[in-house]
Amino acid sequence: MALRTPQNEAGRSSGDQAKADPERSKRRQIFTAAEPLFVRFGFKKTTIEEVCRAAKMSKRTFYELFNDKLDLLVQMHSALAQDLTDEVLATLPEGASATGKVRHYLSTYFNVVQAHPLFQVLLEDAELMRTMTHIAPTNTELYSVINLLSSFLQEGVERGEFRQLDPEMATWIIQTLLDTVHIFLMNPDAVAIQMDVDTLIHETTEFIIHGLLPYPNESSRGMNI
């Protein structure tokens, strides 16, 4: 899946849009060069000079597109988040139930994060995670994924497919679980213990789906299971 730039083109003049096209191309080029460096050496140890060298770009060009290295990482994650959202919506089966939509979201999520280990860079760095947590609510592209999943959960509650849950709270719980599983998936130790990735993904999906479904009967509410 190609990384897109997180820039909003709405309301731009034709001249501005024409100018933005080479900027998007340059951003994609830098995204592509930076990702393997961040994954291999870590975000903190990778320098802007190394990114520019790998992208065959000057530092001047870099600073025309990004404020600093953190801004680069934010824009990369924004692009991936928006791509995940767009991919889910573009490939969503027509007439899918809320349950089907959540399943499709989970399947697409696992496909994207396995293809882009950049997510691991963020998830393994507590300081970066805290920074992104503060940025996310004000970043439309980063929050698009959260909003999409939350809308599927809200739809499921309204249709009676899911139990009476809090869609926003459930979304954050699900996303936290997915992030945790992703860290494990990208860990070489998982291979060492012969972890079956497909089985892990399947069981995680079923665990989430069954946690959303209505209780079998009212007497089961509040029971310790």
Summarize pLDDT for 72-126 with one digit per residue, the tens. Answer: 999 998 888 888 999 999 999 999 999 999 999 999 999 988 888 777 777 677 7
What is 4-16 written as a DSSP string? ------TT--HHH
Instruction: Say what angle helices 14-41 and 69-91 make with each other, to 10 degrees.
Output: 110
Q: Is residue 1 part of a domain?
A: no
Is residue 127 included in any domain, yes or no? yes
Please say whether the beta carbons of 159 and 95 come within 8 A: no
Distance CA(37)–CA(33), nearest Å, equals 7
CA torsion through residues 87, 89, 92, 97, sign: positive
Task: Tell me what the pLDDT averaged over the chain comes to.
Answer: 83
In whole angstroms, give the CA distance from residue 168 to residue 157: 12
Question: 166 in a domain, yes or no?
Answer: yes
Give me the number of domains the chain comprises: 1
The residue length of the chain stands at 225
Average pLDDT over residues 132-153: 84
Sequence-ordered strand ranges (E) for 67-209? none
Range of the domain at 104: 68-219
32 part of a folded domain:
no
Distance separating alpha carbons of residues 105 and 183, to the nearest angstrom: 18
Between 56 and 183, the more confident residue is 56
Q: Which two tokens stand for residue 221?
A: 């509410």
Write down the pLDDT at residue 8. Answer: 41
With residues binned 3-state (H G I as helix, E B as strand, rest as coil), the percentages for the chain, rounded to 5, are 75, 0, 25
Residue 154's domain is classified under what CATH number?
Answer: 1.10.357.10
> Which pLDDT value is given to residue 188?
56
The verdict on residue 205 lying in a domain is: yes
160-199 tens-digit pLDDT: 999 999 999 999 999 989 988 877 776 656 554 566 788 8
145 within some domain? yes
Residue 56 domain flag: no
Confidence of residue 128 (pLDDT cuts 50, 70, 90): confident
The answer to the question of residue 188 being in a domain is: yes
pLDDT of amino acid 49: 97
